[in-house]
Chain A
Amino acid sequence: MTTATKPKQKSDVFHQYLRPKKKFPNVWCPGCGIGIVMGAFIRAIDKLGLSKDEVVLVSGIGCSSRFPVYLDFNSLHTTHGRALPFATGVKFSRPDLKVIVITGDGDALAIGGNHFIHACRRNIDITAILINNHIYGMTGGQGSPTTPSEAFSTTTPYGNVEKHFEPCDLAAAAGASYVARGTVYHAVQLEKAITQAIENRGFSLVEAISNCHTYFGRLNRKGDGLAMIQSFKDRAVPVARAGKMSEEELEDKLVIGKLHTTGATEFCDEYQKVIDAHKEK
């Protein structure tokens, strides 16, 4: 009889962070990984001991961008692709706040791709959680910049002829100071990555690999939500082990963990230095 053992982790922390008029059950399809990312995010905030007033959640449009609808933080649910510009404005005027952007692969890399690289380049202290389900979920399964070559979507009915973006590589190359990848199968590691990303002073990207079984799964015969989530278990390789693997071995694998960090200076700090240096004495 083992039921009386204390759980290794609190299970009900989310109650205090949901909006009082809880809009549950949530809008996502049964088994959609976005909800798992939301759980990991709440546990990360709770672990960091951040108050609701210290946190600003900013999102654009998409299934993943519906996140702030459920959570009781300061929030901005903005237009498609423009979460990062809004977040930049908030952070720039209130550098004391923790600004967190929840975005999808289409939101961040298609319509918002330009904003994404420039937020990375400035290394402004924003944490972006990019829920990458490799397709446009909300609008019916169109191809996105992360849809893999040859994969099917409603706009690539004969297979995608384009190459895809790797959001983590893009962010690291553009100047982000913390880059990590996780999957919704690895929910505890994902929570750890989100915690580290929020602690990092500078632009942080956490790419959360998630399942859109309703479109990506159905069109590419990947099965239901559970089957897709379990496939992330088989495809994931921790970053330490990936270093010892050849490129062929890493084909189709998901390298997870902390991928890239720099000690680059942060945008608001540097701006403040300019203000201080030029203040009239």
Chain B
Amino acid sequence: MSETAQSENTGSKPKAQSKYDYSKGPLPLNINMSWCKACNICIALCPQQVFEPDRDGKPIQARAENCTQCTICWVHCPDLAITSNYK
């Protein structure tokens, strides 16, 4: 896993491996793992199935390349834990 991947996922214990190709830019979203409460809302509502839960139930961007920046995950995150990396 590259440097970027490590810093994107700070806080989550064992990292589910994302096969994301970082030469295409950073991950689509920044997830604040210390604010996330693993409620599963973003994982279930994402129409592109971008997320997979890690061992704590927090979202990992397992299919990051599918993200269309549709806003659904961050407007529904009750803990304001998700922001876009493409402002």
On A, residues with C-beta under 8 Å from B are: 1-12, 14, 18, 24-26, 28, 30-36, 38-40, 43, 184-185, 187-188, 191, 224-226, 229-230
Contacts and interface: CB of A to CB of B under 8 A. Distances in A.
A33 B65 contact: no
Contacts of A4: 24-25, 86
Contacts of A184: 76
A191 to B, nearest CB: 8
Interface string B24-47: 110111000011111111001000
Contact of A39 (B25, B34, B69, B75): B75
Nearest to A233: B45
A36 B76 contact: yes
A33 B78 contact: yes
Interface range on chain B: under 10, 10 to 19, 20 to 34, or 35 or more? 20 to 34
B62 interface: no
Q: Determine the main DSSP class of B at the interface with A.
A: loop
B83 interface: yes
A39 B28 contact: no
12 contacts: A3-B86, A5-B86, A7-B71, A9-B75, A10-B87, A11-B83, A24-B79, A25-B37, A30-B79, A35-B80, A226-B39, A226-B44
Given A11-B82, A11-B87, A40-B75, A5 B68 contact: yes
Interface of B: 24-25, 27-29, 34-41, 44, 64-71, 74-80, 82-84, 86-87
Which residue, A4, A11, A230, has most C-beta atoms of chain B within 10 A?
A11
B24 A1 contact: yes
Contacts of B75: 9, 36, 39-40, 43, 187-188, 191
B87 A7 contact: yes
Given A10-B87, A36-B76, A36-B78, A3 B39 contact: no
Contacts of B74: 11, 39
